[in-house]
Chains A and B, each alone.
Chain A
Amino acid sequence: MPQTVLIVDDHPSFRSTAKILLESEGFDVIGEATDGASAIEAIHRLGPEVVLLDVQLPDMDGFAVARAVMANGTKSAIVLTSSRDGADFGSLVFESGARGFVPKGELSGEAITALLR
């Protein structure tokens, strides 16, 4: 049973490429969101097992989104991503309640699976 994924990023090219990549590796991309507000709504509505959440969003940052959905008691595992290096963010990732961070250039099904274990 493939795991369900929600991709949250404001860049269409990343969303489409990540969708093809994850699906080719057996994930089921069940939705996409382009900003923080629609992401919270989609997580609540779709209840994905994994949320691939970009750190930089037009209306709020990914940490705030993570904190918001974690506060709502979500069961989705949140994986933060960014084109920047994870070291830039330090402890913000775990403090936000996210499962982990994958740089966009290193995104793969394996990397996500490893974080979920």
Chain B
Amino acid sequence: MTPRIRLALWVTGTVAGLFSAIVVASSDRTSHPVLTGVLIAVVGWAFIVGGLIALERRPDNRFGLLMAAEGFAWFAATLGASDEAWVFSVGYLMSSLYLAVLGHTILAYPTGRLQDRASRTIVTGAYLITTLGTLFVVLLARPADLHCTNCPENRLIAFHSPGGAQALNILLNSVGLVLCVAAVVLLARRWRAATPAARHLLAPVLGTGAVVIAALGVQTALQLAFDLPMAQLTTNLIFGLIPLGFMFGLLRSGLARSSAVGGLIQDIGRSSGSPEAIRAALGATLNDPGLSVAYWIPEKEQFVDADGVPVFDPAPGSRRTTTAVEYHGAVVARLEHDIALADDPDLLQAACAAAGLALANARLTTELRARLKELGASERRWRELLEGVNLIAVSLDLEGRIQYANPFLAELTGWERDELIGRDWLETFNPEEREYLERMRRADVLAYEENFVTTRTGERRTIAWSNTVLRDADGSVVGATSIGADITDRRTAERALRALLVEHTALERVARLVAEGRSRHIVFERVTEEAGRLLSAASCNLVRFRDDGTGLVFGGWGEPGANPILAGSVVALDDDSTAARVHDQAGPVRVDSYAELEGDLAQRVRETGIRSAIGAPIMVGGSMWGALVAFSLEEGSFPDGAEHRLAAFAGLVGLAIANADAREQLAASRARIVAAGDAERRRLERNLHDGAQQRLVSLSLALRLARSQLKKDPATAEDTLAAASDELNLALAELRDLARGIHPAVLSDRGLRPALEGLTLRMNESGLDVEVEDLLDQRLPEQVEVAAYYVVAESLANVTKYAAADRVSVRVMRENGRAVVEVQDDGRGGADPGRGSGLRGLLDRIEALDGRLSIQSPPGGGTTIRAEIPCA
């Protein structure tokens, strides 16, 4: 609102007041013209002046405008006192508008705006009945109809209806009464819900307003009940109260502010100046006991409370709000207060200004407190960390005395923590650390170092240290703090790992020798050396267990100067020794002291200087072949588990022997196969020479003879030719048998079954009772069929030659992916594959196909030969 408009309002208000006073004073109907005129003008002016002053001070607040409007409405209503008909008519129309404006003003206090729906409804209703409602009455009634017998003519009347006018008047008064009651209830509720700060603000206006509205209600009720006209003077007096009340409110607000601020300054001056005292003084001054103060910490860009705890904005809808307090243009604090205080910003600002210096000081106190608090928390966190970690934390002074020791150091070293404080570190834990103290004094400690501490029980623990010197405020070295990790177990594990690596490398070297198929001699030599060196033995030997209960010592390895057990020595396994114990226990053994052993052998061993030993069995093909034994010249010198590590080497020895055995067996088998082939060729040559060849020679001679006989003695020649023909048939038969012996053609042409049927048929013809119980119909791989055929052929040949059997049964089956051939006779038994070449050859032939040949031939119990040949 521009100053010009405000000036216009001042002028208009003055003129309107004078005009109203003249109208009222000049009226015939006014009982005390001068008094009433002055009263009317004063009441109206009081509203207008109060409103305009309020507007000057708070241009953004409409309350002042409403107050001024009430003054003008009041003057408009006084026109009804005029004796002039037109002025009277207009005054008549405007006679009750001031009541609606008054209700509006009171309900809109203190902001000038209607805050809720109820107040808006009431005010709208009031405006309707005082404008439209009054208009209808004015259109229907003559003044006499409404108790004004000497009033001028109503110029605005349209349809004279005294009954209608009275009825409408009663209706309007009734509605007005209801609205008055509603307004009083609403104000009462507001009062009840208000905080102390809000009540302080509301009290003068609401109190006056409530009284006026109540008085109006009573008057309206009286009018309704007894149809009494409103007493003009009473009304004037009642209304005279309202601007006085408002003025009192405004005056009190200003006075209160001055006294409050003055009191605040006094309170703060008298108080300790502590944040809490300032907060209490502010709360009391602003009538808000719940007021709180937060201080601005620029570094953190955060408000904190007096204890340094961060505070945050009040929750939306919580009826709390904040106001920043500045001092010399910088924010120092923030008040969190009742939202109602925002309606009296002057008081708030005055209080903030008055408390600014004190709050700036308190802010410094609070900032200091916050820093201390943080420092304390930080220290506490570090302390808790050091107390809880599995690391040593220790502080020493310049004399090497322990100033701080965490529980882990105490736990690790077996000391009580209390005992450690003040103790000399060097004396207690490590006398060799004198250099550390010197370095500490020179502020030159090593950032990282490894050394040891000796526990109370004398155990040495390896510690990895991180060191840092401690200085005082002047920068002088006052001691050092160290954090240490116990790495003893790690170092032990690393050593074990290295040892394991060395052991694996040694085993790998031996394993390579084994894999390369080196001779036993080389493997034995290397195994004893590798195992002996690895286990720090003085010597290492192999002992071969023999069936006669003795052990033969093989050459081994010995450190120079050691007095090893001589190769070739024979030890009795029933005499106590490491090898004998391995033999008895069939597992790794250790003899930590040879003094424990009794007997001659133990005595002889002791005489060589040996004091302890370990041994492990060498297993070959599931049975114990011998033992690997390592000796030491000191008692108990082998570490725990050394015998098991030796067993790993013994295992490789077993493997080497098994490999060598297998190679030997393979070589022997090959030799036998070659020999069998040679023998077979010799047999063939012999058979050819003795059989078919002789017959053909004879035949050749016979033919020559026949030719010479043909002329001189044809009859004899014919006999000779007949004999030659017989000889030729025999030669052919023998050649056929021979060819069949080399390889029966029917086997490759038609398979195993026809070949075996032919074989058994010939056997039956030769007088042996052969019964075929099972024969496979299906074809098998050629090698399998050939092997199966020879198993049957060789077995039947043996039966014919040696068994003196009556019956033979032949079966060929297929079981689990194997061809099974079984030839069983009821002869004299006692067959031995080691003696003849036939069975041995069969064995080689079946093993070459990865099959198995078993021979059961108890003397007198018949013979069963069973071959199983894989043919999946």
Contacts and interface: CB of A to CB of B under 8 A. Distances in A.
A binds B: yes
A56 B695 CA distance: 15
B689 A20 contact: no
Interface residues of B, number: 16
A17 interface: yes
A34 to B, nearest CB: 13
A21 B689 contact: no
A104 interface: yes
A24 interface: yes
B193 interface: no
Interface in A95-117: 104-105, 107-108
Contacts of B708: 24
Contact of B693 (A16, A83, A108): A83
A21 B697 contact: no
A45 interface: no
Interface in B701-718: 701-702, 704-705, 708-709
B704 A21 contact: yes
B121 interface: no
B694 A13 contact: yes
Given A11-B690, A56-B689, A24 B705 contact: yes
Contacts of A108: 704
B258 interface: no
A13 B52 CA distance: 170
Interface string A19-50: 01100100000000000000000000000000
B69 to A, nearest CB: 160
- The dominant DSSP class at the B interface is helix
A107 to B, nearest CB: 6
A14 B692 CA distance: 12
Nearest to A56: B689
Residue of A11, A18, A56 ringed by the most chain B CB atoms within 10 A: A11
A14 B704 CA distance: 13
Contacts of A84: 689
B720 interface: yes
B839 to A, nearest CB: 26
A17 B694 contact: no
B695 A24 contact: no
A21 to B, nearest CB: 5
Contacts of B689: 56, 83-84
A21 B698 contact: no
B724 to A, nearest CB: 9
Contacts of A83: 689, 693-694, 697
Contact of A17 (B690, B693, B705, B709): B705
Given A13-B727, A17-B705, A21-B704, A104 B697 contact: yes
Contacts of B694: 11, 13-14, 83
A107 B701 contact: yes
Contacts of B569: none
A105 B694 CA distance: 10
A55 B697 CA distance: 14
Contacts of B700: 104-105
A21 B705 contact: yes
Contacts of B727: 13
B690 A21 contact: no
- The dominant DSSP class at the A interface is helix
Contact of A14 (B698, B705, B709, B720): B698
A81 B690 CA distance: 14
B701 A24 contact: no
Interface in A60-112: 83-84, 104-105, 107-108
Residue of A11, A13, A84 ringed by the most chain B CB atoms within 10 A: A13
A13 B695 contact: yes
A81 to B, nearest CB: 9
Contacts of B705: 17, 20-21, 24
B720 to A, nearest CB: 7
Nearest to A105: B700
A83 B690 CA distance: 9
B581 to A, nearest CB: 61
Contacts of A105: 697, 700-701
Contacts of B693: 83
Nearest to B712: A24
A61 B702 CA distance: 26
A48 to B, nearest CB: 20
Nearest to B690: A11
A20 B690 CA distance: 21
Interface string B760-797: 00000000000000000000000000000000000000
Nearest to B730: A13
A107 B708 CA distance: 14
Residue of B693, B701, B705, B708 ringed by the most chain A CB atoms within 10 A: B701
A24 B704 CA distance: 11
A20 B694 CA distance: 16
A17 B697 CA distance: 9
Contacts of B701: 14, 17-18, 21, 104-105, 107
A48 B626 CA distance: 71
Interface in B78-98: none
Interface in B146-170: none
B781 to A, nearest CB: 40
Contacts of B704: 21, 108
Contacts of B697: 14, 83, 104-105
Contacts of B698: 11, 13-14, 16-17
A39 to B, nearest CB: 18
A56 B690 CA distance: 10
Nearest to B731: A13
A84 B690 CA distance: 11
A11 B692 CA distance: 11
A88 B47 CA distance: 166
A13 B731 CA distance: 11
Contacts of B720: 20
B692 to A, nearest CB: 10
B712 to A, nearest CB: 9
Interface string B721-764: 00000010000000000000000000000000000000000000
Contacts of A20: 705, 720
Residue of B697, B700, B709 ringed by the most chain A CB atoms within 10 A: B697
B415 to A, nearest CB: 104
B682 to A, nearest CB: 13
A84 B709 CA distance: 27
Q: Which 7 A-B pairs have the closest CB atoms?
A: A13-B698, A104-B697, A11-B694, A17-B701, A17-B698, A105-B700, A83-B697
16 contacts: A11-B690, A13-B694, A13-B695, A14-B694, A17-B698, A17-B702, A17-B705, A18-B701, A20-B705, A24-B709, A56-B689, A83-B694, A83-B697, A104-B697, A104-B700, A108-B704
Given A11-B690, A14-B698, 17 more contacts: A11-B694, A11-B698, A13-B695, A13-B698, A13-B727, A16-B698, A17-B705, A20-B705, A21-B705, A24-B705, A83-B693, A83-B694, A104-B700, A104-B701, A105-B697, A105-B701, A107-B701
